[in-house]
């Protein structure tokens, strides 16, 4: 495993870390603690030292599983969690210092710790970024020893740019993939100037860039890849990086032709992200220990030729950019 600095936090984190949106089983299925523990332990045993979760993942069960697995492992693992998405309706008015403080207190109990390494606002409405009292509350929580660092998870590049105006924001979690390139163009340079850690989520575009899906692939009704393609329940950019499924499959087919000897295509997609020096870590999810191992095995990749880089960019420019580039 290789490690990179997570911005102002000072943490040295594994390039391939772990996201736990689906750690207890596939989307829509009942949470399986035994499976969750096996996935988390597999990650830790292979050098992963940064795990991202959230209070809404499986109604808090993910936080519990992560906390317990890390404690039992005895390893030095940084835990990041998120808050805010419980607010319903999910509007700026619902974000108050008191409500968010309550969420942090609840997460501390579920994770089983006195201090959270990194708490992140979980894709709040854009108006929240213009409310300094919200960011000030997290400074108070830090002074009280309940959190070490504050970060944000954003949907749009412009939200990230606004968020890092607050000095106590140390990290930004954002989608950046072969199919989502605007963050590098508009934001990564600013982040580097302010020493902001960049955590890359949904790096495989909800599995689309694994190369394993086809026109006949079917997703369960409880899977966001079934019910959220149009953004009916949350931002559609979280599902397949916002790319229409059929268009994504065509682009994936072109990528496979470029790398016929590499299986899975996920190794190409993950290494393309790591090629960007401003990136601190990637947090792919996993629904089995085998997926964890496969993600980590991507690190044996020997890099891209200049010709391959240009070919990947051509796929984006021709097939994807006209559909999504200005949306996020």
Q: What percent of the chain has pLDDT over 90?
A: 85
Residues 111, 66: contact at Cβ < 8 Å? yes
pLDDT reading at 302 higher than 90: no
pLDDT reading at 236 higher than 90: no
Overall average pLDDT of the 279-304 stretch:
94
- Per-residue pLDDT, 25: 62
173's torsion region: left (phi>0), alpha (psi -120 to 50) or beta? Answer: beta
- Per-residue pLDDT, 24: 72
Overall average pLDDT of the 324-328 stretch:
90
Task: Place 191 in a pLDDT band, splitting at 50, 70 and 90.
Answer: very high
Question: How far apart, in whole angstroms, are the C-alpha atoms of residue 78 and residue 234?
Answer: 28
- Per-residue pLDDT, 26: 63
- Per-residue pLDDT, 28: 64
Overall average pLDDT of the 100-105 stretch:
98
- Per-residue pLDDT, 238: 86
Question: How far apart, in whole angstroms, are the C-alpha atoms of residue 159 and residue 156?
Answer: 5
Give the CATH architecture of domain 3-211+267-304: Alpha-Beta Barrel (3.20)
Overall average pLDDT of the 55-75 stretch:
96
- Per-residue pLDDT, 74: 97
Which has the closest alpha carbon to 197: 9, 2, 1, 3?
9
CA distances from 179 to 48, 168, 218, 235, 273 (A): 25, 30, 22, 16, 11
pLDDT reading at 187 higher than 90: yes
Question: How far apart, in whole angstroms, are the C-alpha atoms of residue 15 and residue 197?
Answer: 12
Task: Place 303 in a pLDDT band, splitting at 50, 70 and 90.
Answer: confident
pLDDT reading at 167 higher than 90: yes
Q: Which two tokens stand for residue 9?
A: 């936090």
- Per-residue pLDDT, 126: 97
Helix axes 97-111, 132-143, angle to 10 degrees: 40
- Per-residue pLDDT, 301: 87
CA distances from 196 to 69, 109, 140 (A): 28, 28, 20
CA distances from 10 to 2, 38, 117 (A): 16, 29, 11
Question: How far apart, in whole angstroms, are the C-alpha atoms of residue 156 and residue 100?
Answer: 22
Q: Which two tokens stand for residue 5?
A: 């600095």
| pTM of the complete model beyond 0.85 | yes
Mean pLDDT score of the chain: 95
């Amino acid at each position: 495993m290789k490690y990179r600095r997570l911005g102002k936090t000072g943490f040295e984190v594994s390039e391939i870390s772990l996201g736990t949106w689906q750690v207890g089983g596939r989307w829509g299925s009942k949470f399986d603690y035994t499976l969750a523990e096996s996935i988390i332990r597999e990650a830790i045993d292979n050098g992963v030292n940064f795990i991202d979760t959230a209070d809404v993942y499986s109604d808090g069960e993910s936080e519990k599983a992560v906390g317990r697995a890390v404690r039992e492992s005895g390893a030095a693992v940084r835990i990041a969690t998120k808050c805010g998405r419980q607010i319903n309706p999910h509007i700026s008015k619902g974000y108050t210092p008191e409500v968010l403080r309550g969420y942090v207190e609840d997460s501390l109990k579920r994770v089983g710790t006195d201090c959270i390494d990194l708490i992140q606002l979980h894709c709040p409405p854009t108006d929240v970024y213009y409310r300094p009292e919200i960011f000030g509350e997290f400074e108070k929580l830090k002074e009280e020893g309940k959190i070490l660092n504050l970060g944000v998870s954003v949907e749009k590049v412009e939200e990230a740019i606004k968020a890092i105006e607050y000095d106590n924001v140390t990290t930004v979690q954002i989608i950046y993939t072969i199919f989502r390139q605007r963050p590098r163009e508009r934001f990564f340079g600013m982040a580097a100037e302010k020493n902001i850690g960049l955590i890359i989520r949904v790096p495989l575009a909800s599995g689309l860039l694994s190369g394993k899906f086809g026109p006949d692939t079917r997703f369960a009704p409880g899977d966001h890849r079934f019910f959220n393609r149009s953004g009916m329940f949350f931002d559609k950019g979280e599902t397949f990086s916002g790319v229409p499924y059929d268009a994504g499959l065509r682009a994936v087919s072109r990528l496979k032709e470029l790398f016929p000897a590499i299986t899975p295509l996920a190794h190409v997609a993950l290494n393309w992200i790591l090629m960007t020096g401003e990136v601190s870590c990637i947090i792919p999810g996993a629904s089995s220990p085998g997926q964890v191992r496969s993600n980590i095995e991507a690190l044996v990749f020997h890099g891209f030729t200049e010709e391959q880089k240009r070919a990947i960019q051509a796929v984006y420019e021709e097939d994807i950019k006209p559909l999504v580039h200005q949306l996020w």
